[in-house]
Amino acid sequence: MDDALTILALESSCDDTAAAVVRGRPGAAQVLASVVQGQDDLHQAFGGVVPEIAARAHAERLDICVKQALTQANLTFSDIDAVAVTAGPGLIGGVLSGVMCAKGIAAGTGLPLVGVNHLAGHALTPRLTDGIGFPYLMLLVSGGHCQFLLVRGPEDFSRLGGTIDDAPGEAFDKTARLLGLPQPGGPSVQAEAENGDPTRFAFPRPLLDRPGCDLSFSGLKTALLRARDALIADKGGLTEQDRADLCASFQAAVVDVLAEKTRRALEVYLTDKPPEPVLAVAGGVAANTAIRASLETVSADVGARFIAPPLALCTDNAAMIAYTGLERFATGKTDDLTLAARPRWPLDTASPALVGGGKKGAKA
């Protein structure tokens, strides 16, 4: 494989400090090393990611993660072809730390620098894990994002719809907080839901009555809070069964909304007549087994293959940034040392901005 490229990447856009090395070509690459250092312990007491705390940790951990990744891959800088880094969107303090560390590495080694969009990293992961071709439909669903992307090329993304307020991951975290369950909320709400009755509380399915693929989750959060408060007002607290039922009913609503919106997005995607239709998911929420199962059903219904990368490559990681950097670098694209960190950086600049997304595009 003479034309194989070896890319080192850094990722620090939220609460995971990560570095990775990927080698290969577009559509045929492998992960040589992937280091992810989480910060759950630092943010636990605050019930959510505190940007300043995250930025502080990134600034002092990135170089260590890079060193670990090179050691794991048994490589040195002289084996690397380019340094890729998440340049946004995300929590700006963390993104800045990553961009500056990558600039230091690029300057010191003389290696080319490649700025990567974090969302593109998630969106191209199925090409890294499964080598799939374009076009495919991507549902990116995490603590910070929720959007349907029609992926036609490494830098060709059309957003078919997205959340107009919260991301589902945020809603899971908030639910956990309201019910006194540990963070991150995804796994703890799912575990509770397994013992609960999903039909006990009739939570809303926001935006299902409207056409299109946009989603909304903040109303669902409020409905959960009301149901909880009604129970507390009634008997001074929640029983374990109440809590399990609240979780199950909440999760059922998220599943229904995602399934229906995915069905609609698939419809739009299939008008492209893709030779081998694929629905891929990425993001931490894709780890939820109930959501995964329903997405699988929805794609099977229309004859699309369903791809969910392994969890380690679904949640934030640097391998996806390395791979996306590889796709960019392979087409001759690099950045210079003026590369800016961007808190907002929509993948799709042609589609109308999401409601609440602001002029500058998707939030972190």
Partner 1 sequence: MPSEALVLGFDTSAAHCAAALLLGDRVLAATSEDMGRGQAERLMPMLEEMLSGSGKNWSDLKAIGVGVGPGNFTGIRISVAAARGLALALNIPARGVDTFSASELGRTGTVLPTVPAPRGQLYLRPPGEAPTIAAADSVDSHGLPPVPPPAPAVLAENIARIAAAGGGTVPAAPVYVRPADASPSSTPPPTILADDP
Q: Are 7 and 22 in contact (CB under 8 A)?
A: yes
Stretch that binds partner 1, among 138-146, 238-246, 247-255, 286-294 (CB under 8 A): 238-246
Q: Is 98 in the site for partner 1 (CB under 8 A)?
A: yes
Binding partner 1 (rule: CB under 8 A), the pick from 67, 199, 310, 311 is 67
Tell me which of 131, 153, 237, 310 binds partner 1, using CB under 8 A: 237
Under rule CB under 8 A, residue 110 binds partner 1 = yes
**Does residue 254 contact residue 138 with C-beta atoms inside 8 Å?**
no
Written as six digits, the tokens of 95 are: 């993104």
Question: Could you say whether residue 200 binds partner 1 (CB under 8 A)?
Answer: no
Say which residues have a Cβ less than 8 Å from residue 229's Cβ, sequence separation at least 6.
Answer: none
Residues in 158-187 at the binding interface with partner 1, rule: CB under 8 A: 177-180
> With the C-alpha atoms ordered 316, 320, 324, 329, is the resulting torsion angle positive or negative?
positive
Which residue in the set 1, 2, 41, 45 belongs to the binding site for partner 1 (CB under 8 A)?
45
Minimum CB–partner distance for residue 238 and partner 1 (Å): 5
* Closer Cβ to partner 1, 264 or 342, answer by number: 342
The verdict on 342 binding partner 1 (CB under 8 A) reads no
Q: In what order do the strands lie in the sheet with 113-117?
A: 28-38, 16-25, 5-11, 82-88, 113-117
The helix-helix angle for 240-270 and 218-235 (nearest 10°) equals 170
Per the CB < 8 A criterion, the answer to whether 353 and 361 are in contact is yes
Nearest to 18 by CA among 93, 95, 81: 95
- Residue 60 binds partner 1 (CB under 8 A): yes
- 133 is a site residue for partner 1 (CB under 8 A): no
Distance from C-alpha of 135 to C-alpha of 179, rounded to nearest angstrom: 41
Annotated binding residues for substrate: 140-144, 173, 186, 288
- Interface residue list for partner 1 (CB under 8 A): 45-48, 50, 52-53, 55-56, 58-60, 62-63, 66-67, 77, 92-93, 96-110, 177-180, 228, 232, 235-241, 243, 336-341
Annotated binding residues for Fe cation: 118, 122, 316
